[in-house]
Structure 1
Amino acid sequence: MKINSIRKLLLFVMVAATVVGCKKSTSKNTSRATGWKINDKDGGFQYNTSFKEQETAPGLVFVEGGTFTKGRVQDDIMHDWNNTPTQQHVQSFYMDETEVTNVMYLEYLDYLKKVYPPENPRYKNIYNGALPDTLVWRNRLGYNEVMTNNYLRHPAYAEYPVVGVNWVQAVQFSEWRTDRVNEAVLEREGYIESGTKYAVLEGDVEGSGFSTRAYLQNPSATYSGQIDSLQGKARSKNDSTNVFAKQTSGIILPDYRLPTEAEWEYAAQAQAGQREYNNYRGRKKYPWKGEYTRSGKRVSRGDQLANFKQGKGDYGGIAGWSDDGADITAQVKSYPPNDLGLYDMAGNVAEWVADVYRPIVDDEANDFNYYRGNVYTKTSIGKDGKVAIVSGDSIVYDTLPNGRIVARDLPGELATVAITKEDAYLRPNFSQSDNRGFRDGDYSSTRYFDRFADEEDESQDTKRMYNSPKHKVSRDSLGNLVREYDQKARTTLIDDEVRVYKGGSWRDRAYWLDPAQRRYLPQYMATDYIGFRCAMSRVGSKAKKRKSPRG
């Protein structure tokens, strides 16, 4: 009896030792490649081995990617040929729950005004270039001065979608938002001292805003090289030997950006509620279920499900219980969300997306994360061999065709240049920096296209794919802007500076509420009916939850 007990005890010890040894050998803090320790306190390779999942950034909703039919699938009464159905697949991403509001944009303006004070001649055009055009509300035969004077800044409109913002401004807001969110994350994780962003706003490091990309590539130069005095005391548990966060730390969030047209349309359709096994049941005309714009539910029967123009002279309906609650834009979340939890994906304001407009969607060239507008750049390297960072004296300003001046990059951000032919040499996936016109092929829309023209002679007007206006803006000897309008007869607005906007607005009839509808406008122009919302790519797994076994 005693012998059997001893044997059992010995067996238990051996099994336990084996289990412990296996755990030790397969520890996540031990390299499976070399056997060396990861995250050793004495140094060595540092990596976030406990990373589980990308956190959901402020204001965003998770959208699981998948396949869908992009383009018009029913009621094509106009026979539009620019949204022919194509099968597309998008990766998982995040989308703003609502459109960017006035108060969100005012926070951006407040930051720019404090960090880059416009009274400083070097920074004057940074703040002025970001200001929305409030004159978009004016109408030659209408009295709209109350919106011109109040819509952007008055608290009564705080949670209304911002308008008067062109595509360029929307992109720059997204870049600013990326940096502010990551700056807050670094402060939360102890890489930056608490209160740093307020020190920046109070002018302690004027003209040196935080840039995520610059921090990752040259952190010691952040805040004009003053980051040491603003360094946090705490350190990430998985990066205890380093004073700066890295990409491998896993805490830096991807960029806020404008959604691609495919992402926006996929999110607006919200086909999740139509799914049956690996198919969608039927086709959706609007972001909600059903064929009508009014609710059929008992508690809200007859209520409009979006803010749009119902007919000539009818922007809200007859005053009273059946009114849709808005004559111009409406406060966000005034109408029910779609099945993904996104508000106002139809109506309220139309929204800028990232894509350059073309009538044809070339799904033969690509049907995965489709996007037209790639202009590839690389970080500029200074004479000292380090990455070049924009300073107050090296800001580059672009003058848009309408005369508005905008900063290409803010001080503190990385300076970039176009990739060269050497960078793209023998690459099978791209061959040049600017790919906006890649495989356009829309011969029927142009008078000038010449497939046999000399590719090296870019001065030929025949090289232009579309016969679009070419306005010129220059300065005279006194520095005054000189605007020269293109006086030639033109046949289209389409060129590489024209962007897509999606969704109906408060000014549009129900026809435009279909997520498949697409329109375009020059990227430097703004209106009283176009706003935007941001998106963010997801890194890692496609889904947040693992698929459960089928019983």
Structure 2
Amino acid sequence: MRTTNTYFTPLLIFFFCSTLFVSCKNRSGVSPKTGVAYNDPYNGGLQINRKVKEGPGPGLIVIEGGTFVMGGSLNEDITYAHDNLKRRVTVASFYMDETEVSNADWLEYLHWLNQNFPDDKELYYRALPDTLVWRHPLSYNEPYVDLYLRHPAYQDYPVVGVTWEQANDYCIWRTDRVNEHILRQRGALVDYKTLAESQAQPADPFNTDIYLNGQYRGEGIDGEKMPKDNTPGAEEDARRPVRMEDGVLKQPYRLPTEAEWEYAALGLVGNTEYGNIENSKIYPWNGLGVRSAKRRTQGLMMANFKPTGGDNMGVAGYLNDGGDITVSVTSYLPNDYGLYNMAGNVNEWVRDVYRQLSFEDFQDFNPFRGNVYMDKQYEDAETGVIAKDKYGRPIRVPAKAPRKQTWEELQAAAATPDSAAQAAFDYDVRGYDDETNDELYGVTTLVNDKSRVYKGGSWNDRAYWLNPATRRYMQQDESNAMTGFRCAMTLVGSPEVNTQSKPTFPANRARAQGDRKVLGIF
């Protein structure tokens, strides 16, 4: 018996190890719950991609989220507004633009509109910043009206005169251009040269949602390196468009929420050790003042702002902040997240609707006020074809229900689109939980559902407004010479980014290192 056991033990160990090796080797290609192989055209063709590593889109920096005290950096309330009292919240990890959107960035946007819709003068005009914001009855700012946006000397300066609505339109446009560029580089769409020389030009420009719905295909569109189609019955060399499940396309660019912006501006990640915030901040940099305390740069201003009345840049021969109006978007030192000009230069639009008492009505995870729930409208509900506007973008309509409807409810709603059940759902919850008198709302106060928050302070603001917790508001269709914006993007997958100083379990160590490499963190 002893001999038999001695003989069979190595065999069993070999069999076990072989099984484990095969199991581990095929883990990404086999369903762990059914054992059925993925990406097999003979058993259904389900394609699962486990090798995708998420990374930021162009211009973005990863911001590892966490908990912080929103309003906590406000050490004095000069305005006595009491509109950002302290409360602890959690912000999910996300991406944010390294810099403010510049004039060169906006000119790229205008150029694309003019190239793709040369006869639509209204579209181009609506996208133009209001350069008249520089005019003032008692100032000679007239040169900026014609020069600030287009002169090469200002190309790296932040774009101003843009409304909240224009900033959102830019985010939508940027999403489509980034995803189109990714697909053309990968060969899933024809390259730019082939597209320009092709006789079969697409009827509409590329749109991410329309593409993902399979409505952007055909001659002059499909690239030679589209993914293989494993659908049962498909030809051996059949190809398909990229899907969201492939992990190739980027999430939408958007304006950051107020909580995201304040969290990123503070950059407390540089003051954190072992889960403890060692030092709080008043500004995006350490210290109580607005001048550099380092030996080689001692006394230099840390941001572009207005120290006192009548002093926009200091004394000739030794200008204190180097800017009379705005300055380049990469001026000064970045904060501990690597973000430039999170204080001063220009104020920045955020997504939120302004309420003085937002701190009373908030969720402690990803707090945000301003939700308007919209759905894509179908041109043909049976075939799933999405309706497009004249610019090739999906038409969006108010959401009809707060949850997934039953099949019966869906059919009833299609038969009677104006049913009472749909009317009972409030898709526009910008003023959620507001106790208002509808007859007086918007009449006795300047605050309404189109009042949007902006933060950060500008070249024409005092140091008080450089504190990330301060907040002001302006109507979403208004603009001025002191307000610009930067974009953000939702981070998908694991929220953990900074793992260098944190012990990890062996099973997670390789994954964490791989994520850090993709995100550019070493």
| TM-score bracket, shorter-length normalisation | 0.7 to 0.9
- Is 2:347 the counterpart of 1:345? no
CA distance in 2, matches of 1:187, 1:283: 46
User: Where in structure 2 are the equivalents of 1:502-517 lying within 5 Å?
Assistant: 502-517=455-470
Aligned with residue 420 of structure 1, among 385, 400, 408: 400
Q: Deviations over 1:237-266 (max 9, x none)?
A: 898964111111111111100000000000
Match for residue 132 of structure 2?
135
CA distance in 2, matches of 1:300, 1:197: 52
Match for residue 367 of structure 1?
364
Query: Is contact 1:115–1:206 with CA below 8 Å preserved after alignment?
Result: no
Match for residue 336 of structure 1?
333
Deviation at residue 497 of structure 1 after TM alignment: 0.9
Aligned residue identity for 1:434: D
Aligned residue identity for 2:83: N
Aligned with residue 426 of structure 2, among 429, 432, 439: 432
Deviation at residue 7 of structure 1 after TM alignment: 9.6
CA distance in 1, matches of 2:17, 2:205: 52
Aligned residue identity for 1:389: A
Aligned residue identity for 1:231: D
Aligned residue identity for 2:432: F
CA distance in 1, matches of 2:219, 2:48: 23
**Per the alignment, do residues 544 and 391 of structure 1 end up closer, same or farther by CA in structure 2, a change over 3 Å counting?**
same
Deviation at residue 116 of structure 1 after TM alignment: 1.2
Match for residue 19 of structure 1?
17
Query: Is contact 2:229–2:240 with CA below 8 Å preserved after alignment?
Result: no
Query: Is contact 1:182–1:252 with CA below 8 Å preserved after alignment?
Result: yes
**Per the alignment, do residues 12 and 65 of structure 1 end up closer, same or farther by CA in structure 2, a change over 3 Å counting?**
same
Match for residue 497 of structure 1?
450
CA distance in 2, matches of 1:238, 1:388: 22
Match for residue 176 of structure 1?
173
Aligned residue identity for 2:59: G
Deviation at residue 432 of structure 1 after TM alignment: 2.2
Q: Deviations over 1:113-137 (max 9, x none)?
A: 11111x2xxx332111111111111
Aligned with residue 230 of structure 1, among 209, 212, 221: 221
Query: Is contact 2:228–2:240 with CA below 8 Å preserved after alignment?
Result: no
Query: Is contact 1:163–1:531 with CA below 8 Å preserved after alignment?
Result: yes
Aligned with residue 187 of structure 1, among 179, 184, 207: 184
User: Where in structure 2 are the equivalents of 1:75-90 lying within 5 Å?
Assistant: 75-90=76-91
CA distance in 2, matches of 1:516, 1:254: 28
Match for residue 352 of structure 2?
355
TM-score (normalizing by structure 2): 0.85
**Per the alignment, do residues 24 and 545 of structure 1 end up closer, same or farther by CA in structure 2, a change over 3 Å counting?**
farther
Match for residue 234 of structure 2?
none
- Is 2:378 the counterpart of 1:381? yes
5+ unaligned residues in a row in structure 1: which ranges?
Answer: 393-410, 442-448, 451-460, 469-490
CA distance in 2, matches of 1:366, 1:143: 47
Query: Is contact 2:83–2:359 with CA below 8 Å preserved after alignment?
Result: no
**Per the alignment, do residues 97 and 238 of structure 1 end up closer, same or farther by CA in structure 2, a change over 3 Å counting?**
farther
CA distance in 2, matches of 1:517, 1:49: 43
Match for residue 215 of structure 1?
211
User: Where in structure 2 are the equivalents of 1:210-359 lying within 5 Å?
Assistant: 210-217=206-213, 219=214, 221-222=215-216, 227-236=218-227, 242-359=239-356
Deviation at residue 143 of structure 1 after TM alignment: 1.2
**Per the alignment, do residues 249 and 179 of structure 1 end up closer, same or farther by CA in structure 2, a change over 3 Å counting?**
same
Aligned residue identity for 2:61: V
Deviation at residue 10 of structure 1 after TM alignment: 7.3
Aligned residue identity for 1:115: N
Aligned residue identity for 2:166: Q
Q: Deviations over 1:124-165 (max 9, x none)?
A: 321111111111111111111221111111111111000010
CA distance in 2, matches of 1:439, 1:425: 25
**Per the alignment, do residues 198 and 530 of structure 1 end up closer, same or farther by CA in structure 2, a change over 3 Å counting?**
farther
**Per the alignment, do residues 143 and 9 of structure 1 end up closer, same or farther by CA in structure 2, a change over 3 Å counting?**
farther
Deviation at residue 543 of structure 1 after TM alignment: 1.3
Query: Is contact 2:229–2:239 with CA below 8 Å preserved after alignment?
Result: no
**Per the alignment, do residues 91 and 116 of structure 1 end up closer, same or farther by CA in structure 2, a change over 3 Å counting?**
same
Deviation at residue 388 of structure 1 after TM alignment: 2.8
Aligned residue identity for 1:98: T
Query: Is contact 1:49–1:238 with CA below 8 Å preserved after alignment?
Result: no
Query: Is contact 1:261–1:354 with CA below 8 Å preserved after alignment?
Result: yes
CA distance in 2, matches of 1:203, 1:180: 22
CA distance in 2, matches of 1:197, 1:440: 55
CA distance in 2, matches of 1:467, 1:172: 26
Match for residue 540 of structure 1?
493
CA distance in 2, matches of 1:86, 1:277: 22
Match for residue 549 of structure 1?
503
Q: Deviations over 1:265-302 (max 9, x none)?
A: 00001111222433323431111000111101111111
**Per the alignment, do residues 353 and 384 of structure 1 end up closer, same or farther by CA in structure 2, a change over 3 Å counting?**
closer
Deviation at residue 99 of structure 1 after TM alignment: 0.1
Match for residue 112 of structure 1?
113
- Number of equivalent positions: 476
Q: Deviations over 1:435-462 (max 9, x none)?
A: 1010124xxxxxxx44xxxxxxxxxx53
3-state DSSP of counterpart to 1:67:
strand
Aligned residue identity for 2:179: N
Query: Is contact 1:379–1:387 with CA below 8 Å preserved after alignment?
Result: no
Query: Is contact 2:56–2:62 with CA below 8 Å preserved after alignment?
Result: yes
5+ unaligned residues in a row in structure 2: which ranges?
Answer: 231-236, 407-420, 506-522
CA distance in 2, matches of 1:31, 1:19: 20
Deviation at residue 41 of structure 1 after TM alignment: 5.3
Of 6-15 and 79-88, deviating more is 6-15
**Per the alignment, do residues 257 and 283 of structure 1 end up closer, same or farther by CA in structure 2, a change over 3 Å counting?**
same
3-state DSSP of counterpart to 1:536:
strand
Query: Is contact 2:228–2:238 with CA below 8 Å preserved after alignment?
Result: no
CA distance in 2, matches of 1:416, 1:550: 44
Deviation at residue 20 of structure 1 after TM alignment: 2.7
CA distance in 1, matches of 2:299, 2:485: 28
**Per the alignment, do residues 339 and 137 of structure 1 end up closer, same or farther by CA in structure 2, a change over 3 Å counting?**
same
Match for residue 479 of structure 1?
none
Query: Is contact 2:202–2:221 with CA below 8 Å preserved after alignment?
Result: no
3-state DSSP of counterpart to 1:354:
strand
Match for residue 472 of structure 2?
519
CA distance in 1, matches of 2:86, 2:57: 33
Match for residue 160 of structure 2?
163
Query: Is contact 1:114–1:203 with CA below 8 Å preserved after alignment?
Result: no
CA distance in 2, matches of 1:542, 1:275: 17
Match for residue 528 of structure 1?
481
3-state DSSP of counterpart to 2:315:
coil
Deviation at residue 511 of structure 1 after TM alignment: 0.8
Match for residue 44 of structure 1?
45
Deviation at residue 21 of structure 1 after TM alignment: 2.2
Match for residue 467 of structure 1?
442
3-state DSSP of counterpart to 2:61:
strand
Q: Deviations over 1:464-520 (max 9, x none)?
A: 5x334xxxxxxxxxxxxxxxxxxxxxx322100110000100010111100000000
CA distance in 2, matches of 1:268, 1:347: 11
Q: CA RMSD in A?
A: 2.8
User: Where in structure 2 are the equivalents of 1:45-84 lying within 5 Å?
Assistant: 45-51=46-52, 53-71=53-71, 73-84=74-85
